[in-house]
Amino acid sequence: MKKEVKKVVLAYSGGLDTSVILKWLQDEYNCEVVTFTADIGQGEEVEPARQKALELGIKPENIFIDDLREEFVRDYVFPMFRANAIYEGEYLLGTSIARPLIAKRQVEIAHITGADGVSHGATGKGNDQVRFELGYLGQDSTLTVIAPWREWDLNSREKLLAYAEQHGIKIEKSGKKSPYSMDANLLHISYEGGILEDPAAEPEEEMWRWSVSPEAAPDEAEYIEIGYQNGDPVTLNGETLSPATMLEALNRLGGKHGIGRLDIVENRYVGMKSRGCYETPGGTIMLKAHRAIESITLDREEAHLKDELMPRYAKLIYNGFWFAPEREMLQAAIDKTQENVEGIVRLKLYKGNVIVVGRSSDQSLFNPEYCTFEEDAVYDQKDANGFIKLNALRFIIEGKARKHQG
């Protein structure tokens, strides 16, 4: 039985799915709809969504189009990269990290407009339904959540198109439609479906949109320098950039050199395996650079503990727990480690590779007086005798005990 709602904030792109959802909400729930379109750097015009919403009867005051690019990178992407977060050893969490921000803003708009419900276009098979709804419920559990894909029978593109035609919803058909389900933001673009549903099939070269193939990348390497402050990249080749413009610039550089392509089979939170392809050119560069600057500014045990915590942190983000207290607890610990993570990292970009060629920092813990292979006056190599014997003491005791027992 449907719960009665008066006004719903819909995460709206203006595409087929969400346009059908908009009309379906009006008809099935007989409610007022507020549309929210987030610009998080997906590379497409967002203003056409306004006209589309108006055509579908949405009041001008109920149409929200927000530029969230700087907030997205500053408050979500950068904190995640301070942790060096990677899911299952490869995925840089480009889709996962965008959902909490969209959900947060939807709830804010619900409060502004007096809405009592929120809705999204995520399917009942994927991770995004969890990410959106944990975001909603974590901020305002009084809101009714409507997930149309879990209620209706419009479970194919053909049925959606038929519904759109029946209800006079205009669908742009210009150009050839991609056979893939794609999602993009400033951090990455993802591809699922089509031939990718066969994990043995190699992706078609024309699928990739952000990067050239490594084979087609320039034959000459390009050197860049990234400056860090408190664990975040702040300068590129000496120029101070805002978070969003930094990521945009690194995306261009990475794409030019064929950097950041990924083809993986991942374990979804809901239980099944899923094959996806991703392009994360700027993020791939940032991860390499960040680990490089940490290598000279973090204490050994601090760095190792961080690496132990990282998979748990990444899993929380992948599964939609950005606003959970345990993620915030881990973030506080991670951010504490970043207080002295500053300096310059020099990188070489070449045919799909990001190669660290230098790193320097005023906070560096690298001391050549101790690690030199030449003669030094600060380290007595004889001290290693006792160090090794103490570390081997349990082996010695066990060995004697086993020999005595034998």
Q: CA 45 to CA 344: how far, in whole Å?
A: 35
DSSP characters for 248-271? HHHHHHHHHTT--EEEEEEE-TTS
Q: How far is CA 52 from CA 28, 30, 35, 49, 184, in A?
A: 20, 20, 10, 5, 20
3-state secondary structure of 344: strand
Give the DSSP H or E segment for 38: strand 32-39
| Residue positions annotated with a catalytic role | 17, 99, 128, 181
3-state secondary structure of 126: coil
Instruction: List the beta bridge partners of residue 10.
Output: 35, 119
Checking 244-247 for CB contacts under 8 A at 24+ apart, the result is 244/41, 244/69, 244/70, 244/72, 244/73, 244/74, 244/186, 246/73, 246/282, 247/41, 247/73, 247/77, 247/186, 247/187, 247/282, 247/283, 247/286
